[in-house]
């Protein structure tokens, strides 16, 4: 069957769930994953013998399963990482956080901890740019750490991963602490895409409405004792609340806009 016909099938079916551009992009990701081919193959009218494989992927996509969990591949800061339902899919905003940290600290040689590391994307990306740094990641989920360790091995970087409940355990001393902790309130679930709710780990996404800043407060409490610099990803919805708390505590901090011009990245210095 011609690849152009497979593409037409994908766009026809997937526009029931996604807009046309997203549906088309999902086809091209599948094309690259299954056959290592690009748009050129479709333009040239090439054929495929993998019709059954395309159909199986399409069926999963129609159920709302993210393409990254189908292919088990997620691009992140120039790397191709393994992901599955045990970890969040790395987002472009987190790539921006990594870029900011590297710009702030070129040729860094100190110690770093990523709290809530998930797939390990942050310390692994940093390890590629900071070969002399000592990098670690922690997570409350033992299942997530299996994925992180797999990624570190495949990317051939030296990152230590440990299981830790940050709300109830102390930390060793680090020069930099990074975290993209759970920050989505339970009351925000109704605004989220259903495929995220159905597939990605809620433990890494949601925090109680009673204290949505609990992870930031705890991490900064520990960091203050160590005079550590902290970098966070957060929600623009909590900008005012975070500002108020940071000012009350007398912390020195700056915000950085993400590519959508939202206050999503925060640096706190001690």
The predicted pLDDT at position 225 comes to 86
Residue 58 shares a structural domain with residue 127: no
Could you say which residues of the chain have pLDDT below 50?
none
The predicted pLDDT at position 88 comes to 92
Residue 86 shares a structural domain with residue 110: yes
3-state secondary structure the chain: CEHHHHHHHHHHHHCCCCCHHHHHHHHHHHHHHHHCCCHHHHHCCCECCCHHHHHHHHHHHHCCCCHHHHHCCEEECCEEECCCCCCCCCCHHHHHHHHHHHHHCCCCCCEEEEECCCCCHHHHHHHHHCCCCEEEEEECCHHHHHHHHHHHHHHCCCEEEEECCCCCCCCCCCCEEEECCCCEEHHHHHHCCHHHHHHCCHHHCEECCCCCCHHHHHHHHHHHHHCCEEEEECCHHHHHHHHHHHHHHCCEEEEEECCCCCEEEEEEEC
The predicted pLDDT at position 102 comes to 97
In a domain, 68, yes or no: no
Residue 104 shares a structural domain with residue 172: yes
Segments forming the whole domain that contains residue 128: 74-269
Residue 215 shares a structural domain with residue 250: yes
Residue 9 shares a structural domain with residue 132: no
The predicted pLDDT at position 204 comes to 56
Q: What is the tens place of the pLDDT at every residue in 49-82?
A: 999 999 999 999 999 899 999 999 999 999 999 9
Cβ burial, residue 209 (10 Å; 0-12/13-18/19+) = exposed
In a domain, 69, yes or no: no
Q: How many domains does the chain have?
A: 2
Residue 114 shares a structural domain with residue 232: yes
Q: What are the φ/ψ torsions at residue 60 (nearest 5 degrees)?
A: -70, -40
Q: What is the tens place of the pLDDT at every residue in 13-49?
A: 999 989 999 999 999 999 999 999 999 999 999 999 9
The predicted pLDDT at position 263 comes to 87
- CATH number where 134 lies: 3.40.50.150
On whether the CB atoms of residues 38 and 32 are closer than 8 A, the answer is yes
Residue 40 shares a structural domain with residue 104: no
Point out the domain boundary residue: 18, 38, 63: 63
Residue 54 shares a structural domain with residue 81: no
pTM (global) more than 0.85: yes
Residue 208 shares a structural domain with residue 103: yes
Residue 46 shares a structural domain with residue 177: no
């Amino acid at each position: 069957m011609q690849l152009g016909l497979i593409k037409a099938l994908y766009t026809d079916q997937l526009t029931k769930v996604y807009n046309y551009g997203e549906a088309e992009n999902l086809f091209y990701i599948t094309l690259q994953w299954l056959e290592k081919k690009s748009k050129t193959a479709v333009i040239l009218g090439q054929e495929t013998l993998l019709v059954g494989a395309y159909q199986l992927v399409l069926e999963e996509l129609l159920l709302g399963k993210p393409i990254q969990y189908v292919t088990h591949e997620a691009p992140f800061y120039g790397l191709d990482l393994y992901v599955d339902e045990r970890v969040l899919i790395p987002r472009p905003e987190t790539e921006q956080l990594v870029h900011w940290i590297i710009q702030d600290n070129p040729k860094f040689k100190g110690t770093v901890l990523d709290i809530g590391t998930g797939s390990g994307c942050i310390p692994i990306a940093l390890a590629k740019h900071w070969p002399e740094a000592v990098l670690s990641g922690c997570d409350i989920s033992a299942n997530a750490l299996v994925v992180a360790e797999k990624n570190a091995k495949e990317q051939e970087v030296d990152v230590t991963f440990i299981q830790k409940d940050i709300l109830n355990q102390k930390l060793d001393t680090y020069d930099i602490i990074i975290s993209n902790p759970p920050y989505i309130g339970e009351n925000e679930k109704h605004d989220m895409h259903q495929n995220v709710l159905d597939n990605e780990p809620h433990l890494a996404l949601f925090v109680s409405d009673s204290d949505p800043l609990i992870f930031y407060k705890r991490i900064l409490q520990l960091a203050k004792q160590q005079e550590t610099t902290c970098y966070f990803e957060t929600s623009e919805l909590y900008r005012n609340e975070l500002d108020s708390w940071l000012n009350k505590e007398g912390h020195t901090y700056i915000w950085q806009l993400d590519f959508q011009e939202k206050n999503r990245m925060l640096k706190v210095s001690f």
